[in-house]
């Protein structure tokens, strides 16, 4: 090779590498700009306006109901205060918060309608001239209508952020391939340059170049691994924060719905309330799946192994899923079984429920069957529980991926009726926790069969376990006055949650003291000369306070071990470990009202949880 080519080839290699590097830098800059314009401020602003409108409507309705009942304590101060918050958020809004909403015609129109509503309502917000009940009802209706429009806008913004995230992911994928291409071309042309230099220089120079290139490759690989870990940690923090923020209003909603049920007497009203309960339960189920993932990852779920009969679980599964199967025209076959299993009954029931629910969800015709057999494995008897369906089947290439979080087959539109894609991920974690073997046998067009290999137990052992369980205390059925004359302290930094819990507990005869912090709680208890019978505290309070610390301060104030429980909406593994480590009874938002009342009454009565 002549001298001209020895100069030309390295120069060409340098130009190609430089061009690819410029492309990588340009893509990085555009990706950074897209990340900076992620619409988070607009999304938070829409959420705040939605909350303020809902709070204003609720305050109007509460005052109207109190006034209609002739309540002498009825005061317009609350809805006027809520109006002032709404007014401040609208009138003092800067263009920085609106951001891209300024270019959105529907958002601009909605902002104009809200501003007009606020301005038209202002003359009515006067202590001296209280509007009529009809006017209050109309104002609440208008606020609700605007809230619904704001909520729809919020959903649109959420979808836009999701699309933007997908776009960023595509860019990152392209960047990755560009970096790989850059590295490949760099190594290729560098190898060629080393080969040429080897012919004209000594071997020591070539070895030094090779060592330098190896170091560069390792640095890039380490950078990619570190970047991936940071992204996963950021995603976990985001999901935990979003789940906590969603659980707070959902918890308040559940408590208020429970109280509202006592005041709805018409059939149409009860039908509407039933639909609202059903929607709330669906949200609870979705958020519950996120919580299950976090609790399993945090390692705060204990295993209570015991011997129990399989048949009651199978009967309960048939009762629970028969309506769903019939609604889809499917046959649900559940075989009788006299087997006894040796594992955690509650967690195993969750595994079966997830697998059966998944089978029904993805089977359009035919049947779903549950069978139980036995076999000898490594010198011990085990039970084989099979859940089989006649659905579409799972391609072999997808059979590992279906156990990943948020992964769903044939659901590109992310239909929420098909869940979040967490069911099989929860099953995968639970079988590892219980030491159960899970096998999958499926092919497209031939259906799917999951097989669980579970340790068997004996009937004699099960009888002993049941006899022991019969000695354990349970929760008695509670009537509407189960908390009569009990002093219940509520510590929560969310006003809506405090109001909802107060209304619900007072309907059960309790005297409720609410506070947003431990200091406020101590002041109110001292002023009323009361010692609480039970403390109910949110775990994460303002100013970096925690519920267990607040409980400790109240106990120190009165020098007595007041029974207490913690209610949390956190789903991050770290927070769950902290809350469980406090030693207090732990409930997860949103809490069913009946369960909350039973827990509080049991603590007040001295029953161990």
The domain ranges of the chain are 3-196, 231-298, 307-459, 487-605
Question: Distance between CA atoms of 191 and 210, rounded to whole angstroms?
Answer: 9
Give the range with max mean pLDDT: 29-43, 130-144, 221-235, 468-482: 130-144
Q: Which of 180-189, 431-440, 499-508 has the lowest mean pLDDT?
A: 180-189
Q: Kindly list the distances between the CA atom of residue 506 and the CA atoms of 73, 481, 501, in Å, as whole numbers in the listed order.
A: 16, 9, 8
Question: Distance between CA atoms of 302 and 347, rounded to whole angstroms?
Answer: 10
Q: How many CA atoms lie within 13 A of 235 on its CB side?
A: 11
Question: Distance between CA atoms of 359 and 39, rounded to whole angstroms?
Answer: 38
SS3 of residue 507 by DSSP: coil
pLDDT per residue over 351-406, tens digit each?
898 889 888 888 888 999 999 998 887 778 899 999 999 988 888 877 777 777 66
pLDDT per residue over 50-68, tens digit each?
888 888 889 888 888 888 8
- Averaged over 438-450, what is the pLDDT? 87
Q: Which of 82, 72, 73 is nearest to 136 (CA)?
A: 82
* Fold topology of 307-459: Heat Shock Protein 90 (3.30.565)
Q: Kindly list the distances between the CA atom of residue 490 and the CA atoms of 534, 539, 556, 565, in Å, as whole numbers in the listed order.
A: 9, 12, 17, 10
> For the stretch 279-305, what's the b/e string if a residue is b when 16 or more beta carbons lie within 10 angstroms of its beta carbon?
eeeebbeebbbbbbbbbbebebbeeeb
Question: Distance between CA atoms of 149 and 156, rounded to whole angstroms?
Answer: 11
pLDDT of residue 451: 92
More confident residue, 165 or 95: 165
pLDDT exceeds cutoff 70 at 36? no
pLDDT exceeds cutoff 60 at 429? yes
- Average pLDDT score over the chain: 76
**pLDDT-derived band at 173, boundaries 50, 70, 90:** confident
- At the fourth CATH level, the homologous superfamily of domain 487-605 is Response regulator (3.40.50.2300)
Burial of 420 (0-12, 13-18, 19+ CB in 10 A): middle
Question: Distance between CA atoms of 487 and 437, rounded to whole angstroms?
Answer: 50
Q: Kindly list the distances between the CA atom of residue 98 and the CA atoms of 42, 91, 123, 344, in Å, as whole numbers in the listed order.
A: 6, 13, 27, 52
SS3 of residue 280 by DSSP: helix
- Averaged over 70-80, what is the pLDDT? 82
pLDDT of residue 477: 44
Question: What percent of the chain stands above pLDDT 90?
Answer: 6
pLDDT of residue 506: 86
CB atoms within 10 A of CB 369: 19
Q: Are 569 and 243 in contact (CB under 8 A)?
A: yes
Q: Are 529 and 556 in contact (CB under 8 A)?
A: no
Task: Find all residues with CB under 8 Å of 589, minimum gap 6, and list them.
Answer: 247, 248, 250, 251, 567, 568, 569
**pLDDT-derived band at 288, boundaries 50, 70, 90:** low
SS3 of residue 511 by DSSP: strand
**Selecting from 3.40.1440, 1.20.1330, 3.40.50, 1.10.8, what CATH number does the domain 3-196 have?**
1.20.1330
Q: Are 424 and 405 in contact (CB under 8 A)?
A: no
Task: Find all residues with CB under 8 Å of 454, minimum gap 6, and list them.
Answer: 341, 342, 343, 348, 382, 383, 384, 385, 436
Give the range with max mean pLDDT: 11-15, 159-163, 229-233, 322-326: 322-326
SS3 of residue 481 by DSSP: coil
DSSP classification of residue 571 = -
CB atoms within 10 A of CB 401: 13
Helix axes 518-528, 547-558, angle to 10 degrees: 30
**pLDDT-derived band at 117, boundaries 50, 70, 90:** confident
Q: Which of 108-122, 147-161, 177-191 has the lowest mean pLDDT?
A: 177-191
Look-up of token digits 């917000």: 125
Q: Are 292 and 571 in contact (CB under 8 A)?
A: no
């Amino acid at each position: 090779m002549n001298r001209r080519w020895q100069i030309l080839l390295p120069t060409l290699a340098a130009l190609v590498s430089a061009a690819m590097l410029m492309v990588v830098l340009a893509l990085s800059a555009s990706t950074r700009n897209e990340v900076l314009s992620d619409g988070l401020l607009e999304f938070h602003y829409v959420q705040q306006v939605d909350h303020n409108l809902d709070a204003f409507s609720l305050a109007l309705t509460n005052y109207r109901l109190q006034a209609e009942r002739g309540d002498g304590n009825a005061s317009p101060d609350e809805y006027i205060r809520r109006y002032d918050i709404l007014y401040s958020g609208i009138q003092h809004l800067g263009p920085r918060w609106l951001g891209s909403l300024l270019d959105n015609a529907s958002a601009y129109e909605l902002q104009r309608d809200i501003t007009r509503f606020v301005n038209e309502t202002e003359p009515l917000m006067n202590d001296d001239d209280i509007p009529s009940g009809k006017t209050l009802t109309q104002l609440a209706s208008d606020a609700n209508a605007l809230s619904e429009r704001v909520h729809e806008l919020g959903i649109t913004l959420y979808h836009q952020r999701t699309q933007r995230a997908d776009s960023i992911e595509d860019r990152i994928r392209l960047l990755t391939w560009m970096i790989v291409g850059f590295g490949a071309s760099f190594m290729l042309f560098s190898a060629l340059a080393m080969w040429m230099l080897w012919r004209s220089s000594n071997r020591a120079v070539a070895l030094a170049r090779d060592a330098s290139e190896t170091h560069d490759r390792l640095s890039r690989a380490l950078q990619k691994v570190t970047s991936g870990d940071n992204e996963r940690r950021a995603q976990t923090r985001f999901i935990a924060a979003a789940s906590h923020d969603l659980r707070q209003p959902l918890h308040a909603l559940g408590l208020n719905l429970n109280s509202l049920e006592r005041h709805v007497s018409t059939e149409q009203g009860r039908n509407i309330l039933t639909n609202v309960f059903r929607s709330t339960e669906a949200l609870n189920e979705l958020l519950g799946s996120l919580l299950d993932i976090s609790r399993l990852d945090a390692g705060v779920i204990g295993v209570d192994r015991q011997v129990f009969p399989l048949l009651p679980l199978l009967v309960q599964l048939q009762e629970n899923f028969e309506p769903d199967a019939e609604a889809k025209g499917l046959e649900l076959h559940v075989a009788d079984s006299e087997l006894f299993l040796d594992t955690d009954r509650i967690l195993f029931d969750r595994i079966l429920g997830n697998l059966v629910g998944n089978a029904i969800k993805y089977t359009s015709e035919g049947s779903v069957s549950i069978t139980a057999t036995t076999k000898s494995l490594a010198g011990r008897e085990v039970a084989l529980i099979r859940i089989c369906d006649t659905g579409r089947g799972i391609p072999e290439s997808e059979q590992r991926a279906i156990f990943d979080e948020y992964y769903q087959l044939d659901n590109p539109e992310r239909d929420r009726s098909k869940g979040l894609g967490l069911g099989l991920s929860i099953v995968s974690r639970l079988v590892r926790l219980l030491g159960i073997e899970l096998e999958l046998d499926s092919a497209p067009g031939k259906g799917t069969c999951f097989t669980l290999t579970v340790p068997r137990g004996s009937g004699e052992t099960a009888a002993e376990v049941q006899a022991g369980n019969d000695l354990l205390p349970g929760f008695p059925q509670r009537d509407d006055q189960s908390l009569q004359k009990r002093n219940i302290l509520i510590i929560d930094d969310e006003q809506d949650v405090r109001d909802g819990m107060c209304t619900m507990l007072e309907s059960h005869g309790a005297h409720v003291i609410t506070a947003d912090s431990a200091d406020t709680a101590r002041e109110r208890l001292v002023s009323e000369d009361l010692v609480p019978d039970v403390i109910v505290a949110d775990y994460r309070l303002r100013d970096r306070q925690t519920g267990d610390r607040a409980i400790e301060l109240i106990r120190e104030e009165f020098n007595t071990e007041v029974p207490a429980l913690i209610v949390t909406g956190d789903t991050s593994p770290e927070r769950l470990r902290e809350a469980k480590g406090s030693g207090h009874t732990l409930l997860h938002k949103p809490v069913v009202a009946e369960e909350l009342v039973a827990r509080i009454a049991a603590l007040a009565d001295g029953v161990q949880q």
